[in-house]
A and B are shown apart, each in its own frame.
Chain A
Amino acid sequence: MNLLYSLAFVALAVASVAFQAADAIRRKQFKVLAAQGAILALAIVLGILAIYNFRIPSMAELLQALVPWQA
């Protein structure tokens, strides 16, 4: 079930950006493409982690570690 969600998620994410990506390829704007790809990749990773409920230190925890005191 989780696998299905993940696949659907990835497919949806890529499909939605596909048009703009194709446009970027046509205009040879490789920086744009790289940026889009990087962000999307990161998003997909996070998304899959969320779907599978992997326990990774969440952002809130990370930030709290940075704060030297607990107000």
Chain B
Amino acid sequence: MIEKGRISNIQSAMLAITSLTIMGHLIVLTLVISHSKENGWIAAIIGTALGLIGIVAVTRLSQRFPGLTLIEILFRHFSWPGKIAAIVYLLYFFILTLLAVRLFGEAYKSILYETPLTAFIVIILLVSAYAVYLGLETIGRMNQIMLPILVVMAIVVAYLTMPNKDYSNLLPILGEGWMPVGAGALSVMGWFGEIVIMGMLLPYVQKPERLMKANLWVAALTLIFFLGPVTGPVAMFGATEAAKMTFPTFSEVRYIEAGEVLNRFDAIAVLFWTVGLLFRISIFYYGLCLGTAQALKLKTYRPLVLPFGWLIGAGSLWFAADYEEIQSFLFGVYAPLNITMGALLPVLLLLLSRLIQKLRKRKEVAEER
């Protein structure tokens, strides 16, 4: 295979957690709160349970074809429909990368509103491209160092915001019935669908047998990390207010005061977003480059890093005309897209591969007679 690196199980799990969590806390949060308001946490739990379908499917698929990434599996084992599916997946990775880069720009534009969007795109892509160029091992190691730091800071932040929160705002439970909860749950399930990008990384993990356990932990931890932000803003601002906010966690963090000197911990939010989005973008960017290289049967993915960098940069500008379009994209397309690519397709592939195996066995048995 093209990537010679190996990452440990822990590193791969951490990468998945970072990628998912940052998207969750930034974007999915708005979706869930606006759909389910104070019952967001119920939606989260249900959504995670549903998301497990996709996770299990992807892990199983990877274990069934050891050492091959998703794209390689599709190309080699599913003949021409597989090739088409692979291209669809590559487009999917591309779209998600564009989304992530654009979101980075938009998020920072809301703080540093005088800086042009392009500047943000350029700078995040520079660092990202460098990391992707250096390889999977490097990204895994970086994440291994940064994630614990982020988690610790998140806990500190959560603790500091406690006095402002009133958890009675989380009632009533299921006040408006199951519909809003369902919509939120679907968003969460869609969010988890993104874990399909791990299909590009799992073959390079050191201990494939333990992957199922690792990925289940990923789901569990992501859910736990998500419960905080899904309840926090509601507790602080009340359900209807929270639903209106574009970036609820951001607003929440603004209210922290630490003694006489520091307040408005926007800076902490900056840290989370930058690092989290950086890893997310790097992983999808990496998956895109690696997948394309494998589809074209190139020796290494490195020559593609720079060209794709430019493409992603230009593409993220083309992606939407303004934030309104992004909003409607998120509310309309994001969840179904992810559910399809991340849950439906992997399950389909898994069943198909089982079917093909059974047919083959029957053929062999028939030939023996």
Contact = CB atoms under 8 A, between A and B. Distances in A.
Direct A–B touching, Cβ under 8 Å: yes
A31 B318 contact: no
A35 B320 contact: no
Helix, strand, loop or mixed for chain B's interface?
helix
A70 interface: yes
A28 to B, nearest CB: 12
Contacts of A35: 292, 296, 298, 303-304, 307
Interface bin, chain A: 20 to 34
A3 interface: no
Contact of B314 (A24, A47, A70): A47
A36 B315 CA distance: 16
B344 interface: no
B311 A59 contact: no
Interface string B317-340: 111110001101101110111000
A71 B318 contact: no
B315 A46 contact: yes
A13 B292 CA distance: 20
A51 to B, nearest CB: 9
7 contacts: A16-B310, A36-B307, A39-B310, A46-B318, A47-B313, A49-B318, A60-B333
Interface of A: 13, 16-17, 20-21, 23-24, 29, 31-32, 35-36, 39-40, 42-47, 49-50, 56, 58-61, 63-64, 66-67, 70-71
Given A16-B310, A17-B307, A58-B319, 4 more contacts: A20-B306, A31-B297, A35-B307, A47-B314
